[in-house]
Every structure is written in structure tokens, then in C-alpha cells.
A and B are shown apart, each in its own frame.
Chain A
């Protein structure tokens, strides 16, 4: 409380700058539950009509929202698991093993991380087409995981770097194999990094739009982002209430995850192990 009152001017500035966002969120929530007369600023009476997509198909040709949500969930989860498990191993190798070309590998990771995805999209399209993975969930999972990996490997390497190497030496002296030392002694020290990376890559997968749009345009592989896009694009008269309600539905998991895992997410910026 005292800290808050001492920095009240900071809080005020932040409040002013974030108020447009908050107001927009507020109206999104209000509008999704009410009916509004065109041209009026204030919402009308309570109406669940905008949320009808939850229990019925909004169009004949469109998949059910639950299929789409399931797709999105599979896409985000699989990507997150793949990115986390591969980064965990690659980060260890880069942090601890003295392999040839290591500096170039590290430099390459940074460049890849900064590389704009969209410039690769045609090449990726051709590769997927060639492999027969075009318009499949597996295809976009592979692509998304590959694009997320540089970031993940880099983050994990940073976490491994903070683990004292004496711990590993002690483990080896105690008779454990290198693999066992990694699994049983080192991995627990980088758990905060694992958790943060898992969450971040899940959220990144959850909000992915461009890859599914271009590489999996079929209705069987639709995810929430492309579903929303289709809803607003196809109709000649856009149903903004419906659109807002789907948007709400889409962002609920993100908000929940942020609320639950704030601390783990901050770890990525703090790094390191705490005893």
C-alpha cells in the first residue's frame, strides 16, 4: 500500500495510457452480452444472441466452434510441448557441450529468431505441398515449432548457463551418468525456465494466425484465429456482436493463463535458479 501511494504519479500515467485499452475491453464484454441500436453509444438490453455460436452452427458451411477450439488447443499444446522438449535438450547442449561450430550456431539462433516469418511463407508452402502436409494440422505444428525453436533454445541456454557446473561435476563424482546428471540434477534447476517457455509457446501457438491461414486453409483444420477471420470476411453484412463474442471466447484462456502463471512468466526475464 505504501509503495503504491509513493508511486501514485507512475500509476496515474500508466492508467491514462492504458485506459483506451481497458475501455475497449469493457465495451467488448458489454457488447457481446447486449443488443445495441445502430449509432448509439450505450448498450441496450441483455441478449445472449451473440453467444449463439456456442450451441449452434452459425452457418451451414462452417465447422462447429468446438471442433475449431479443439484444433486450436491441439495446435498450441503440441507446438508448446515440441518446442519445450527440444529447446530443453538443445539449450543444454549449447550451454555445456563443447561442440564444433558452437559460436556460429549461437549467432545463427539469434538471426533466425529475428527473421520475419512471412518472407519464408512461399518456401514453406512449397515444402509442405511436397511433403503432403499442406492443409494439415501436423504441417502447421511442424512449421510453428520450427519457427519458435530459436527463441526457446536461446532462453533455455540462458537458464542452463546459471546452473553451477560444480553440481554436474559432483553428480559425475557420485557415480551418475551424464544423462542421469542432466535429468535428475540439472533439469530441476531450470524448471522455472521450462514452465515459462511452455506457457509462452502455448500462448504463441494459441494466437497464431498467418500460418494456419496460408498453410491450412481448409475448414477441417480451422483454428480460432482463422475462424474469426472467416466469420467477419464472408458476411456481406458483418455481425460485429457475434465477432466480439467469439473474440471474448478466444481470449478467455489467454487471460486465465496470464492470471495463473504471472510469476512463472516473469521468470524468463529474471532467469536463474533460486534455492
Chain B
């Protein structure tokens, strides 16, 4: 079911947290609300599920206007960060609770619970209590409980934040699999760009209560609209260097880089170079000292300090003989340079 948020405004007292926000999530799509803490992503989520009243604007699920409906009548499933399972109930009772509220017959509840438990693969745990489950299992129970009412929209509030690294990987693909299988419209709220990029069809990147860019993950990575977006996406993060755009791009200590062909600007600008676009595989061009090497198994992260004091990061396959203190002269993939004006907008 399509979700449409128009001119959404949220105020807490005198403080306007979100102003005139528009967001459309297509039917069956998984959308990420991504942003640093305090950007308003959780506020948006709570407004959609009905826990917070909207101060202005409208919310539609398909044709249905749900702006003023209480949470109970909205048909939204929510998976909370700490799962919010009911500790005194068994897994079966937890998952079946939404149907019990709807006064369904016991046999109908039982078969529905079995179906959902199958979907999230916890069929053998139905008699346990939440305290007897691992984090990943609790997550699955929460997911099943959120979906048993066949909600129009499924919301995830930082669903992976409480899991350890290995489980996080597993649940990432699990949640995506279940969302695809059921074709449910979903919104994922997260501050982790890796989660957003790997799980979602589109990402809405938020800052200070505004959506600064809404795009497919690859598109947003390759074509960030601002310095903030470029800095937020990508792990390890992009390096920014201030340069003067003249005939060539002149760095402070008189090193130069060729101009990308599509760059028209003159004067002081900021360029962003992703780690994979800097290194010996791109020839030569920037000279500096290696100040830090971080082995990551398959790859190594290498920080190079240029002569002007600016640092730039490269990511290389392991096995390159690079050590701290070494002087290197590595090249940059010129056409992949992202350039920004002094106020942070893409040029």
C-alpha cells in the first residue's frame, strides 16, 4: 500500500522539529529514513504510526486518510529497537496478541501464529518466554507480531542496533527477505548508512528535519547532492580537500590535480575523493606520508598526510607493502572527484 506524507509538520511546544516534509513510499517498497541522531527520523516514524500527533500536514495509506486516526486504527506494524516483547507472555501469546485484541477465534489465531512463526523461522520456540531467547530470535518474534495483523505499512525503528555484528548481518538479509516475500510497504529508520544502503530500495537522507536527498542507494552514493550527503554515505568515509579551481585544481601546498571535465567552477571549492578513487592503481599525482594503516583482513585502510597537512584516505587490497612513515605518490581517479561549493552544495 502506498504511503503518502504531505506537508508534514511536527512541533514540540515552540520548537518546530519538522516543517513541510513530503514523502511518498511506493507500494511494496522499502524506504530508509537515514540521518544523524536528532534529524527527525524517529519523529517522522512516530507520526506515521500514530504515537505522535501531527502538528500539520496529511498522511494517506493508499486512498485512506489516516492523519487523525488513533494508532489502534491505522494498521501499522512497528518493530522497536528493543523489540518491546511482552515479558510475561510466551512467544505464541506475543505473536497472537494483536489477533486476540481483534477477538479472533483461538483456532484461527493458532494457525495464523504458526504461519508467521514459519515465515520468520521460529516455529520451535513458540512455548518460550522472551527472556529465554537470543537477540536475533527476539527480533524475529517482534517482526512476526508486527506482521500478523497484515498491516498496510511496516515500520522498523533501528531494528538492528541491539544485535551483535554477526547477527546484524544475518538479520539484515532476513528482514529484507521477509519484506520481499510478503511485498509489504516498509520504512526503516536508521543512522547506519550500511543498513540503509544494503536493505532498502530507496533512501531518504534527513538533516535538521528536512529530507536533503531521496534516491536509490547507488545513485545517492555516486551522485550526492551536497557535501553532507557525500560525507554521510560510504564506509570508510570520503575525504574532503579544499582546493582553488584555476587551470588545474591547486591544493594548498602547491600540489595540483587535473580538472574533471564536467567542472565549470572557479575559485575556492571543496573536492571529495572516495577512498577507492585514490591509490597506486590510479597512477601518480598526490604526494604525502603514510600516517596510519588499518588492516581489515581483505583490505587495508591507509591515511596519507599531504604536505599541506590535509589527510586523505585510500583503501587497498591487503598485501600492498605500505608502512607508516613511508612516502608515497599516488594518483586520483580525476573523473570521479566530487566537487562542492564552499557552502556545501554540489557543483
Interface residue ranges, A against B (CB under 8 Å): 164, 166-167, 169-177, 180, 185, 188-189, 273, 275
Contacting B82 at CB < 8 Å: which of A166, A173, A175, A273?
A: A166
Top 8 A-B pairs, shortest CB-CB distance: A275-B131, A166-B84, A170-B84, A174-B98, A188-B88, A175-B101, A166-B80, A275-B87
| Chain A neighbourhood of B49, CB < 8 A | 173
Taking A175-B149, A275-B129 as contacts, is the C-beta distance between A169 and B101 under 8 angstroms? no
| Chain B neighbourhood of A167, CB < 8 A | 84, 86
Taking a contact as CB atoms under 8 Å apart, the answer to whether A175 and B87 are in contact is no
Instruction: Give 26 pairs: A residue, B residue, CB < 8 Å, sorted on A.
Output: A166-B80, A166-B81, A166-B82, A166-B84, A167-B84, A167-B86, A169-B80, A170-B80, A170-B85, A170-B145, A171-B86, A172-B50, A172-B51, A173-B49, A173-B51, A173-B71, A174-B97, A174-B145, A175-B73, A175-B101, A175-B102, A176-B97, A177-B72, A188-B87, A188-B88, A189-B88
Contacting A172 at CB < 8 Å: which of B71, B87, B88, B131?
A: B71
Taking a contact as CB atoms under 8 Å apart, the answer to whether A180 and B101 are in contact is yes
Q: Return A48 CB to nearest CB of chain B, in Å.
A: 49
| Chain B neighbourhood of A173, CB < 8 A | 49-51, 71-72, 76-78, 146
B130 at the interface (CB under 8 A from A): yes
Contacting B86 at CB < 8 Å: which of A172, A177, A185?
A: A185
Taking a contact as CB atoms under 8 Å apart, the answer to whether B72 and A176 are in contact is yes
Range of interface residues on B (Cβ < 8 Å): 20 to 34
CA distance A189 to B85 in the complex (A): 12
Smallest Cβ-Cβ distance to B145: which chain A residue: A174
Taking a contact as CB atoms under 8 Å apart, the answer to whether A169 and B88 are in contact is no
| Chain B neighbourhood of A172, CB < 8 A | 50-51, 71-72
Smallest Cβ-Cβ distance to B146: which chain A residue: A173
Taking a contact as CB atoms under 8 Å apart, the answer to whether B98 and A189 are in contact is no
Taking a contact as CB atoms under 8 Å apart, the answer to whether A164 and B82 are in contact is yes
CA distance A169 to B46 in the complex (A): 10
Q: Return B138 CB to nearest CB of chain A, in Å.
A: 10
Q: Return A185 CB to nearest CB of chain B, in Å.
A: 6
Contacting B87 at CB < 8 Å: which of A171, A180, A273?
A: A273
Taking a contact as CB atoms under 8 Å apart, the answer to whether A275 and B130 are in contact is yes
Taking a contact as CB atoms under 8 Å apart, the answer to whether B78 and A170 are in contact is yes
Interface residue ranges, B against A (CB under 8 Å): 49-51, 71-73, 76-78, 80-88, 97-98, 101-102, 129-131, 145-146, 149
Smallest Cβ-Cβ distance to B132: which chain A residue: A275
Taking a contact as CB atoms under 8 Å apart, the answer to whether A176 and B101 are in contact is yes
| Chain B neighbourhood of A176, CB < 8 A | 72, 97, 101
Taking a contact as CB atoms under 8 Å apart, the answer to whether B98 and A169 are in contact is no
Q: Return A186 CB to nearest CB of chain B, in Å.
A: 10
Smallest Cβ-Cβ distance to B76: which chain A residue: A173
| Chain B neighbourhood of A177, CB < 8 A | 72
Q: Return B159 CB to nearest CB of chain A, in Å.
A: 12
CA distance A118 to B245 in the complex (A): 86
Q: Return A169 CB to nearest CB of chain B, in Å.
A: 6
CA distance A166 to B149 in the complex (A): 18
Smallest Cβ-Cβ distance to B79: which chain A residue: A170
| Chain A neighbourhood of B78, CB < 8 A | 169-170, 173
Taking A185-B86, A275-B130 as contacts, is the C-beta distance between A174 and B80 under 8 angstroms? no
Q: Return A184 CB to nearest CB of chain B, in Å.
A: 8
Taking A188-B88, A273-B87 as contacts, is the C-beta distance between A175 and B80 under 8 angstroms? no
CA distance A185 to B76 in the complex (A): 19
Smallest Cβ-Cβ distance to B83: which chain A residue: A166
Residue of A174, A175, A188, A189 contacting most chain B CB atoms (<10 Å): A174
| Chain A neighbourhood of B72, CB < 8 A | 172-173, 175-177
CA distance A167 to B84 in the complex (A): 5
Taking A177-B72, A180-B101 as contacts, is the C-beta distance between A169 and B84 under 8 angstroms? yes
CA distance A273 to B86 in the complex (A): 12
| Chain A neighbourhood of B98, CB < 8 A | 174-175
| Chain B neighbourhood of A171, CB < 8 A | 86, 97
Q: Return B131 CB to nearest CB of chain A, in Å.
A: 3
| Chain A neighbourhood of B101, CB < 8 A | 174-176, 180
CA distance A184 to B105 in the complex (A): 19
CA distance A164 to B84 in the complex (A): 8
| Chain A neighbourhood of B102, CB < 8 A | 175
Residue of B51, B86, B129 contacting most chain A CB atoms (<10 Å): B86
| Chain A neighbourhood of B73, CB < 8 A | 175
| Chain A neighbourhood of B83, CB < 8 A | 166
CA distance A166 to B88 in the complex (A): 15
Smallest Cβ-Cβ distance to A165: which chain B residue: B84
Q: Return A98 CB to nearest CB of chain B, in Å.
A: 12
CA distance A169 to B101 in the complex (A): 15
Q: Return B292 CB to nearest CB of chain A, in Å.
A: 40
CA distance A1 to B289 in the complex (A): 65
Taking A175-B98, A175-B101 as contacts, is the C-beta distance between A189 and B149 under 8 angstroms? no
Q: Return A25 CB to nearest CB of chain B, in Å.
A: 40
Smallest Cβ-Cβ distance to A187: which chain B residue: B88
CA distance A243 to B85 in the complex (A): 55
Q: Return A275 CB to nearest CB of chain B, in Å.
A: 3
Smallest Cβ-Cβ distance to A176: which chain B residue: B101
CA distance A176 to B88 in the complex (A): 17
| Chain A neighbourhood of B87, CB < 8 A | 188-189, 273, 275
| Chain A neighbourhood of B86, CB < 8 A | 167, 170-171, 185, 188
Q: Return A112 CB to nearest CB of chain B, in Å.
A: 31
| Chain A neighbourhood of B51, CB < 8 A | 169, 172-173
